[in-house]
């Protein structure tokens, strides 16, 4: 099925110089925030420095093949009308009908360690059964952990930091099981190395193990198009290729911005999705009044290799949706010393979802071919250095990522034939930085989050990743909550 293209927008310059609110960044959180404000007649300007929307989860085409930048799977899957689910809340708040996201569920995924492989689906009972099979003595402990997680208010804006590893060890005795439970949650959302905040752990646990994975048919474009339509309806003015180069602050109060195209635009409220250190970096030093230390730049970035193959992964012998692979008993979630850490990876096969609409045939899905994606932890500094050494060196390092990824594919797809690769693309931490502006190409933001979105400056609010909710669904909810709190309820 052809994936519909999103028409390129061509407005660059704002029509006016005064707004009720300016939103920085047309990623998931920025678009959601702008829709909420626009829905209730606020005059909103959304400034995006890139030529298209989506941010960390955008899209592109190479050789006429449509690619998604991020999207492995949408976490927080929910059925239509399922109550109190983040997805249901978000759709309601944005008034988007459930059907519009065209969600399909995963087949099953796997946490793949040398001695043990644990499968999980969107049904937690399956995971419980898997744990019982492989760790019989831990089943009751896991059930107790589940109780704690279900009763925990992870979205309270004032939860103090608590180590997820320490908390997990209070329930689960076997270190291997601790590591295995943590693995997908870390790599799908931790800004901290080796551990994560327990609130974040609970958010991720619910979104992956309790709610599960889905995929919008048509990929991330389906979601972006739904958001663009809503922005039109809500009269949000969006300007592309026009980033914010300075945030104007006077006496601790935000006044407006100067855009990269040189206009001065005023507004009493600025919601920024650019990241916390990135946003504070837009305030000129002489007007900075806060003496608190600069928030740290996140260290976690990734490479991703994407292959288009003649056959689909099931024919190569793998029907998993996502494989969280780790080559030792311990999971080292951290920025590697080398360019990449090939000891662990995420393998994603977007063909392996339960596609329903408009597809025919035995492996009917979005794609005419197979799509194989391999993500590995990577060191931004190394890649950045490689870039400055020269293109040839950078490309030779990329080739090493290719080789490691192919090795992994051969291991996980018994009938894989590399000669059937028709196209490949590899992106690195410097690619992420170039297209999203996130310092260090970091994907999960700064380890210093501002849970209530506030900054030291009145009227300047952080939404998205650095407010603490991330992933596609999380970041949209963040944009919604921050717009509600600061733009509609009139706080601050």
Partner 1 sequence: MEQAEVRQKVLDIIEDVALDEDLSNLDDSVALRDQLDLDSMDFLDIVMELKKRHKIEVPQEDYPQLATMDSCVTYLTPKFNQ
In the complex, which residues of this chain contact partner 1 (CB under 8 A)?
Answer: 39-41, 80-81, 83-84, 88-89, 91-93, 95, 97-98, 480-481, 484, 488-489
The reply to whether 25 sits near ligand FAD by the rule CB under 6 A is yes
Contact flag: residue 432 with ligand FAD (CB under 6 A): yes
For residue 464, state whether it binds ligand FAD (rule: CB under 6 A).
yes
Tokens at 244, concatenated: 């914010």
Q: Name the minimum Å distance from CB 101 to ligand FAD.
A: 12
Closer residue to partner 1, CB minimum distance, 89 or 167: 89
Measured torsion, CA atoms of residues 218, 220, 226, 229, in degrees rounded to the nearest 10: -110
30 contacts ligand FAD (rule: CB under 6 A): yes
Among the residue ranges 262-270, 352-360, 405-413, 464-472, the one whose residues contact ligand FAD (CB under 6 A)? 464-472
Q: Does 346 bind ligand FAD (CB under 6 A)?
A: no
- Give the shortest CB-93-to-partner 1 separation in angstroms: 6
Output the smallest distance, CB 227 to partner 1, in A. Answer: 16
Residue closer to ligand FAD by CB (options 24, 406) is: 24
Q: Are 179 and 331 in contact (CB under 8 A)?
A: yes
97 binds, among ligand FAD, partner 1, none (CB under 5 to 8 A by kind): partner 1
- Judge residue 140's burial from the number of C-beta atoms within 10 Å of its C-beta, 0-12 exposed, 13-18 middle, 19 or more buried: exposed
For residues 93 and 106, which CB has a smaller minimum distance to partner 1 in the complex?
93
> How many of the other CB atoms lie within 10 Å of CB of 136?
9
**CB atoms < 10 A from the CB of 316, how many?**
21
Residue 302 in contact with ligand FAD, rule: CB under 6 A = yes
* Residues 229-248 within binding reach of ligand FAD (CB under 6 A): 243-244
- Tell the smallest beta-carbon distance from residue 49 to ligand FAD (Å): 4
Q: How far apart are CA 269 and CA 453, in angstroms?
A: 12
Quick one: which of 3, 300, 386, 472 contacts ligand FAD (CB under 6 A)? Answer: 472
Q: Which is nearer to partner 1, 10 or 83 (CB)?
A: 83
Query: What's the sign of the alpha-carbon dihedral 155, 159, 163, 166?
Result: negative
Q: Output the smallest distance, CB 25 to ligand FAD, in A.
A: 2
Spell out, one character per residue from 55 to 74, where the chain touches ligand FAD: x when CB under 6 A holds, - when not. xxx------------xxxxx
Residue 431 found at the interface with ligand FAD (CB under 6 A): no
Of these partners, partner 1, ligand FAD, none, which one is at the site of residue 56 (CB under 5 to 8 Å by kind)?
Answer: ligand FAD
Alpha-carbon separation of residue 269 from 139, 250, 336, 455, 478 (angstroms): 50, 13, 39, 12, 16
Is residue 366 involved in binding ligand FAD (CB under 6 A)?
Answer: no
For the beta sheet containing 21-24, the strands, ordered from the edge strand earlier in sequence to the opposite edge, are 237-239, 44-47, 21-24, 269-272, 460-462
Q: Kindly state the smallest distance separating residue 259's Cβ from ligand FAD, in Å.
A: 8
Out of partner 1, ligand FAD, none, what residue 249 binds, judged by CB under 5 to 8 A for its kind, is: none
Q: Which does 81 bind (CB under 5 to 8 A by kind): ligand FAD, partner 1, none?
A: partner 1
**In the complex, what is the shortest distance from the CB of residue 39 to partner 1, in angstroms, rounded to a whole number?**
8
Structure tokens, 482:
């921050």
Q: Could you say which of partner 1, ligand FAD, none residue 49 binds, taking C-beta under 5 to 8 angstroms by partner kind?
A: ligand FAD
Q: Residue 4 Cβ, how far from partner 1 at the closest point, in Å? A: 23
Binding site for ligand FAD (CB under 6 A): 24-30, 47-50, 55-57, 70-75, 243-244, 273-274, 278, 302, 304, 432, 436-438, 443, 464-465, 470-472, 475
């Amino acid at each position: 099925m052809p994936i519909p293209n999103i028409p390129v927008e061509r407005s660059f310059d704002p029509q006016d110089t005064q707004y009720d609110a300016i939103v920085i960044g047309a990623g998931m959180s920025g678009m959601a925030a702008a829709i909420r404000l626009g829905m209730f007649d606020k005059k909103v300007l959304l400034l995006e420095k890139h030529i298209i929307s989506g941010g960390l989860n955008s899209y592109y085409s190479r050789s006429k093949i449509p690619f998604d930048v991020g999207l492995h799977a949408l976490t927080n899957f929910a059925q239509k009308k399922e109550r109190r689910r983040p997805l249901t809340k978000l759709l309601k708040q944005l008034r988007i009908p459930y059907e519009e996201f065209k969600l399909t569920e995963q087949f099953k995924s796997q946490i793949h360690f040398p001695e043990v492989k644990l499968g999980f689906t969107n049904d937690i009972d399956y995971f419980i059964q898997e744990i019982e099979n492989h760790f019989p003595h831990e089943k009751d402990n896991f059930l107790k952990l589940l109780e704690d997680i279900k009763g925990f208010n992870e979205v309270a804006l004032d939860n103090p930091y608590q180590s997820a590893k320490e908390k997990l060890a209070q329930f689960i005795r076997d270190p291997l099981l601790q590591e295995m439970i943590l693995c997908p949650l870390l790599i799908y959302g931790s800004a901290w190395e080796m551990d994560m905040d327990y609130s974040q752990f609970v958010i991720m646990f619910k979104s992956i193990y309790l709610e599960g994975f889905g995929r919008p048919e048509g990929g991330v474009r389906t979601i972006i198009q739904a958001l663009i339509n809503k922005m039109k309806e809500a009269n949000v003015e969006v300007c592309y290729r026009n980033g914010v180069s300075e945030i104007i602050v006077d006496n601790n109060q935000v006044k407006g911005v100067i855009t990269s195209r040189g206009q001065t635009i005023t507004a009493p409220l600025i919601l920024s999705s650019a990241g916390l250190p990135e946003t504070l970096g837009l305030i000129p030093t002489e007007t900075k009044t806060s003496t608190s230390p600069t928030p740290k730049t996140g260290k976690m970035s990734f490479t991703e290799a994407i292959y288009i193959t003649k056959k689909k992964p099931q024919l190569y012998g793998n029907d998993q949706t996502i494989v969280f692979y780790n080559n030792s008993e311990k999971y080292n979630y951290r920025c590697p010393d080398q360019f990449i850490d090939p000891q662990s990876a995420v393998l994603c096969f977007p063909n392996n979802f339960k596609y329903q609409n408009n597809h025919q045939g035995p492996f009917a899905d979005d794609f005419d071919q197979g799509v194989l994606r391999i993500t590995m932890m990577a060191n931004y500094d190394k890649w950045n250095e490689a870039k400055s050494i020269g293109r040839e060196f950078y490309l030779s390092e990329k080739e090493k990522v290719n080789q490691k990824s192919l090795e992994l594919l051969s291991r996980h797809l018994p009938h894989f034939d590399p000669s059937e690769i028709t196209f490949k693309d590899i992106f690195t931490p410097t690619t992420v930085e170039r297209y999203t502006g996130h310092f260090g190409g970091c994907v999960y933001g700064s380890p210093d989050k501002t849970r209530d979105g506030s900054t030291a400056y009145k009227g300047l609010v952080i939404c998205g990743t650095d407010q603490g909710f991330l992933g596609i669904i999380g970041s949209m909810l963040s944009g919604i909550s921050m717009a509600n709190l600061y733009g509609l309820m009139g706080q601050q």
